[in-house]
Each structure stands twice: as structure tokens, then as C-alpha cells.
Amino acid sequence: MNKRIFLDPLFKNNPVSILALGICSALAVTVRLQPALVMALSVTLVTGFSELILSMLRKTVPNRIRIIVQLVVVAALVILVDQILKAFAWQTSRQLSVFVGLIITNCIIMGRIEAFALSNKPFPSFVDGIANGLGYGIILVAVSFFRELFGSGTLMGYPVIPEQWYVANGGFYENNGLFILPPMALIVVGLIVWVFNAKNEKKAWKK
């Protein structure tokens, strides 16, 4: 049971590529791999713990004010993440700028709380939150992998394209500047969605 809750959101019901949730804060941080990893980790932690807390509170919070309670819990967790990042990873925190705050309005968190945590026990909710965060992280890391590789020729800041390939050194290769610009993030996600859908369809067809 718990295994299924964990594995489903990674590929089959991936929150980003299948359900179109949580793209808002995702794409602006995908120019490089490192901030994308930090962002994925933060979202995973916030989703997991907010589902855990709200699932424990689910019987005490009146239905009518639940949205406000959810926002407060999520916002408090995001403040924690933001303060921790500011204290221990100042550079990354600068790069992420307002997008850490925007985790609050990430639709994955609100969507999973409404759909899962309010009707399930704390531990499965926690697993569900972590898994959805990781599903989101997979897309984020995939997008930023391609953007950093083709856009700047590095991965995690380390050069991977050999120096002598570049035109400046008499080679044939040049970085594709388009990959650094925002629109390319959308196109890469579009292609990833295509791959995911094509794969899922094939499975359904085989059955």
C-alpha cells in the first residue's frame, strides 16, 4: 500500500507532467542544475511535512476555515526553509530569490493536501507528500539538466564539454544561447510531457 503511494506520483501520476500542477514556481529556477536541486529538495520537504501536519489536524479543523489553516501551515514551513537557506546557503538563496516564497502557492502542495491528507492517516500522507515532491523534483532536474548542458556546457558548474571543441579554440561547437532564455524551459517541459504521455499510452495499449 505504502509502496504504491510512493511509486505512483514518480512516473505514472507525475504531478507536473500528467496533472499539470505546480509549474508556477518550477521553471524559473531551471537554468542551472544546482538551484533546481535545492528547489526540488525544499518542495519535497515542505510537501511532506505540511501533509503530515495537516493530516494530524484533519479532525480538529472545521471544514469552513480549512483553506486558511492550510495556507498558514504551509507558509510557516516555507519561512523555515527560507531562513535555513539564508543561513547556510546564501548564494543559492540569492539565486532562487522570490521563488522560495512562491512555494506557498505551489499547486502541488494545496492539491495534495485537499486530495490526500484530509482523508488519510498521517504516515501515508507523509509518504504521499514526499513522493509528490520527488515527482516534481524529477521534472525539475530533467529540465535543468538539458538547459545547463546545452545552454552553458556545464553540469553542477563543472564543464563537461571539452575545451578544444569550442569555436573559440578552433573547434566546431558553440553553446546554444536559447536554452538559457525562459521560453526554452516551457518547450523542454512540453517535450517531456510528450515522452511521458507516449509511454503511458503504450502501457495502456498493451493491457
Partner 1 sequence: MEEIINIFVKSVFVENMIFAYFLGMCSYLAVSKTVKTAAGLGLAVIFVLLITLPVNYLLNRYVLAPGALALINPAWAEVDLSFLSFILFIAVIAAMVQLVEMIVEKFAPALYNNLGIFLPLIAVNCAILGGSLFMQEREFETIAQVFSFALGSGFGWFLAIVSIAAIREKLSYSNIPAPMRGLGIAFIITGLMGIAFMSFMGIQL
Pick one of 78, 85, 131, 134: the residue that binds partner 1 (CB under 8 A): 78
Pick one of 104, 117, 127, 130: the residue that binds partner 1 (CB under 8 A): 104
The nearer residue to partner 1, 2 or 83, going by C-beta atoms, is 83
Verify binding: residue 25, partner 1, rule CB under 8 A.
Answer: yes
Asked if residue 77 lies in contact with residue 107, where contact means CB atoms within 8 angstroms, the answer is no
Pick one of 24, 138, 155, 161: the residue that binds partner 1 (CB under 8 A): 24
Return the SS3 of 18.
coil
Kindly tell me the sign of the dihedral angle through the C-alpha atoms of 191, 195, 196, 202. positive
**Separation of alpha carbons 172 and 183, rounded Å:** 26
The letter for the amino acid at 195 is V
Hunting for cell 530533467 — which residue is that? 142
Smallest distance from partner 1 to CB 16, Å? 10
Q: Which stretch binds partner 1 (CB under 8 A): 14-22, 32-40, 53-61, 120-128?
A: 14-22
Hunting for cell 486558511 — which residue is that? 68
Give the contact letters, 128-167, x = binds to partner 1 (CB under 8 A), - = no: ----------------------------------------
Verify binding: residue 53, partner 1, rule CB under 8 A.
Answer: no
Verify binding: residue 186, partner 1, rule CB under 8 A.
Answer: yes
Asked if residue 73 lies in contact with residue 62, where contact means CB atoms within 8 angstroms, the answer is no
Q: Which of 195, 74, 69, 103 is nearest to 143 (CA)?
A: 195
Question: DSSP assignment, residue 8?
Answer: T
Task: For the segment 57-76, give every residue that binds partner 1 (CB under 8 A).
Answer: 67-68, 71-72, 75-76
Site size for partner 1 (CB under 8 A) = 45
Alpha helices in the chain (DSSP H): 2-7, 33-57, 66-88, 90-96, 107-115, 122-152, 182-206
Verify binding: residue 54, partner 1, rule CB under 8 A.
Answer: no
**Separation of alpha carbons 85 and 35, rounded Å:** 11
* CA 26 to mean position of chain CA atoms: 6
Pick one of 10, 11, 13, 28: the residue that binds partner 1 (CB under 8 A): 28
Smallest distance from partner 1 to CB 160, Å? 25
Interface residues toward partner 1, by CB under 8 A: 17, 20-28, 67-68, 71-72, 75-76, 78-79, 82-83, 97-98, 101-102, 104-107, 110, 178, 181-187, 189-191, 193-194, 197-198, 201
